[in-house]
């Protein structure tokens, strides 16, 4: 009897374990289409496009649970407010609390960008905006355009574009704008619900996002030469050319290096002893491509320490076939006094030796090289290079915009790793370049207004004001191969 009871209990335990395990294994729902739709707005209180708006809080109700994504940085309020509204989310509701007093008879736009997303798949509502007016009507004028980096010719995104009612030149550095927008990934910006008036228009690319132009060596700026006159018609197709106004490599007049506290005499002696042990040696480092010198290009020698003195007569260039020195056409030390260029008509495939005497150079630490240096290298061959044959045609719209202005030169730029490697002026619609190091290059066309062959930045805070020179980029890269020619037809 006891044995039968034990068997019965054991059987019940096994059956119970089976059912419990079945209950514990939660089977996920079958696969269906993934939710790719953004949340849908069901209601808003007060309603969008309200007139005589006086509320301090606005409630947005959606069809699913939502969350906020970096709303403080993404939200744009126009006209601008001193205090950014507070935005919170709970379940299906987003609440916006307005902290400032709104101006009378003014249309306000609260643009959330893509800050509102659903909780599950984080699908954003793109350009979600709420528009109200404290007056009798909604303003509806618009300004559209795009932001372009003038030096590269490429579109620039996440740029602050700003409108001011104050027409003084310094307003962009001293005041917040009345309206502002932010350029999108394709470089376009779009002001909506603007009031009629005359505005100064600026764009700045900045890190601190204080909406003020205060760092001319790091912040990019763009400006319109004349005021924007908004009356009855919208303004479209504006182009804002961004540039850094002041070259950060140029020393500002009157700028002094920071002074350091001078050590005591006994400390100076200790420092001298340390310096003797740590003092770097003067050395030469040739700038060669796998021990080969580029044709039609000066040789570059880099010194490990800036030079105080240089004796060009102690540099001896030898062609291996002649076994005797040849004359170096030109030698030049750069402004840092650490880079020396040697100009010479290199012969393709020729082997060379550059002999530098021990006393040829003296650095700023009053050192010379420990011994004479011999640099052995060879010049590249013509077959190591590629060629480009380019034809440039002006479109009807470009020709109309130039209005027959023959003073503008079209300069072709071949760009690699953001650096202009080769450039030249288009003559009679064509440009041919040989001796191109094989690689992939981006092609740009510079509209050179002053004929100096290089891009010139703009000027805003000096007189006369000047827009930067324009560059047009053709983003599809061209593969230049060794011992091969590439033909390219471009329309500007």
Domain with CATH 2.60.40.1220 in the chain: 41-133
Indicate whether 365 pLDDT > 60: yes
Pick one of 2.60.40.1120, 2.30.300.10, 3.40.50.920, 3.30.70.20 as the CATH number of 385-491.
Answer: 2.60.40.1120
> Which pLDDT does position 407 carry in this prediction?
87
- The ranges of the chain annotated as CATH 2.60.40.1120 are 385-491
pLDDT of 390 strictly over 70? yes
pLDDT of residue 267: 60
**What's residue 208's pLDDT?**
84
Would you state the pLDDT for residue 320? Answer: 80
The span from the CA of 96 to the CA of 44, in Å, is 11
Torsional sign, CA 166, 236, 187, 38:
positive
Report the range of poorest mean pLDDT among 48-52, 277-281, 327-331: 277-281
Positive/negative CA dihedral, 36, 39, 42, 48: negative
Residue 260's pLDDT is 38
- pLDDT tens per residue, range 368-377: 999 999 999 9
In this prediction, residue 26 has a pLDDT band, given cuts at 50, 70 and 90, of very low
Q: Which fold has domain 277-382?
A: Immunoglobulin-like (2.60.40)
Round to whole Å and give the CA distance between 241 and 221.
8
**Where do the CATH 2.60.40.10 domains begin and end in the chain?**
141-244
At 176 the pLDDT is 93
Using CA atoms, how far apart are residues 408 and 453, in angstroms rounded to an integer?
Answer: 11
What is the Cα gyration radius of the chain? 34
Q: Looking at domain 141-244, does it have CATH number 3.90.1640.10?
A: no
Q: Of 74, 100, 71, whose CA–CA distance to 209 is shortest?
A: 74
**pLDDT > 80? residue 474:** yes
Structure-model confidence comparison of residues 461 and 255, the more confident one: 461
pTM of the prediction?
0.80
Q: Which regions of the chain carry the CATH code 2.60.40.3710?
A: 277-382
Percent of all residues in the chain with a pLDDT value above 70, rounded to a whole number: 86
pLDDT confidence of residue 15: 46
- How far is CA 463 from each of CA 169, 183, 213, 251, 368, rounded to the nearest angstrom? 11, 29, 18, 20, 48
Q: What pLDDT, on a 0 to 100 scale, did the predictor assign at position 348?
A: 94
Is the pLDDT at 182 greater than 90? The verdict is yes
CATH numeric code, 41-133:
2.60.40.1220
Local confidence band at 255 (pLDDT 50, 70, 90 cut-offs): very low
Rounded distance, CA 471 to CA 189, Å?
A: 20
Helix or strand or coil: residue 289? strand
Task: Select from 324, 348, 369, 334 the least CA-distant residue to 435.
Answer: 348
Q: Looking at residue 199, what is its pLDDT?
A: 98
* Mean pLDDT, rounded, for 249-262: 42
User: How many angstroms separate the CA atoms of 429 and 406, rounded?
Assistant: 13
Each residue's pLDDT tens digit, 325-335: 778 878 999 99
């Amino acid at each position: 009897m006891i044995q039968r009871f034990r068997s019965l209990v054991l059987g019940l335990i096994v059956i119970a374990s089976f059912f419990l395990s079945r209950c514990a294994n939660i089977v996920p729902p079958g696969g269906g289409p993934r939710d790719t739709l953004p949340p849908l707005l069901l209601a808003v209180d007060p309603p969008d496009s309200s007139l005589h708006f006086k509320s301090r809080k606005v409630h947005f109700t959606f069809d699913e649970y939502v969350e906020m994504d970096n709303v403080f940085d993404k939200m744009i309020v126009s006209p601008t407010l001193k205090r950014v509204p507070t935005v919170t989310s709970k379940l299906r509701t987003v609440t916006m609390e307005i902290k400032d007093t709104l101006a009378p008879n003014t249309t306000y736009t609260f643009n959330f960008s893509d800050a509102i997303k659903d909780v599950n798949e984080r699908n954003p509502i793109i350009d979600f905006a709420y528009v109200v007016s404290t007056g009798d009507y909604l303003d509806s004028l618009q300004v559209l355009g795009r932001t372009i980096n003038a030096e590269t010719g490429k579109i620039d995104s996440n740029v602050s574009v700003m409108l001011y009612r104050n027409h003084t030149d310094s307003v962009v550095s001293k005041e917040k704008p009345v309206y502002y927008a932010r350029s999108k990934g394709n470089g376009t910006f779009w002001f909506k619900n603007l009031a009629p008036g005359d505005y100064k228009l600026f764009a700045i690319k900045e890190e601190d996002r204080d909406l003020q132009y205060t760092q001319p060596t790091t912040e990019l700026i763009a400006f319109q030469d004349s005021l924007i006159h908004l009356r009855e018609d919208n303004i479209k197709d504006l182009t804002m050319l961004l540039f850094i106004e002041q070259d950060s490599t140029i020393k500002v007049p009157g700028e002094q290096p920071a002074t350091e506290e001078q050590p005591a005499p006994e400390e100076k002696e200790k420092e001298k002893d340390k310096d003797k042990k740590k003092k770097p040696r003067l050395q030469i480092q040739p700038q060669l491509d796998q021990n080969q010198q580029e044709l039609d290009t000066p040789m570059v020698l880099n010194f490990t320490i800036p030079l105080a003195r240089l004796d060009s007569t102690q540099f001896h260039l030898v062609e291996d076939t002649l076994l005797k020195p040849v004359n170096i056409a030109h030698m030049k030390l750069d402004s840092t006094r650490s880079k020396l260029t040697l100009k010479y008509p290199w012969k393709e495939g020729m082997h060379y030796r550059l002999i530098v005497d021990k006393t040829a150079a003296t650095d700023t630490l009053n050192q010379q090289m420990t011994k004479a240096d011999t640099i052995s290298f060879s010049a590249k061959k013509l077959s190591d290079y590629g060629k480009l044959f380019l034809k440039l045609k002006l479109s009807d719209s470009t020709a109309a915009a130039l209005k027959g202005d023959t003073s503008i030169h079209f300069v072709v730029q071949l760009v690699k790793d953001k650096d202009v490697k080769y450039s030249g002026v288009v003559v009679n619609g064509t440009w041919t370049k040989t001796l191109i190091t094989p690689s992939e290059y981006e092609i740009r066309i510079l509209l050179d207004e002053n004929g100096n062959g290089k891009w010139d930045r703009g000027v805003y805070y000096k007189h006369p004001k000047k827009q930067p020179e324009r560059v047009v980029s053709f983003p599809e890269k061209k593969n230049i191969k060794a011992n091969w020619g590439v033909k390219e037809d471009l329309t500007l």
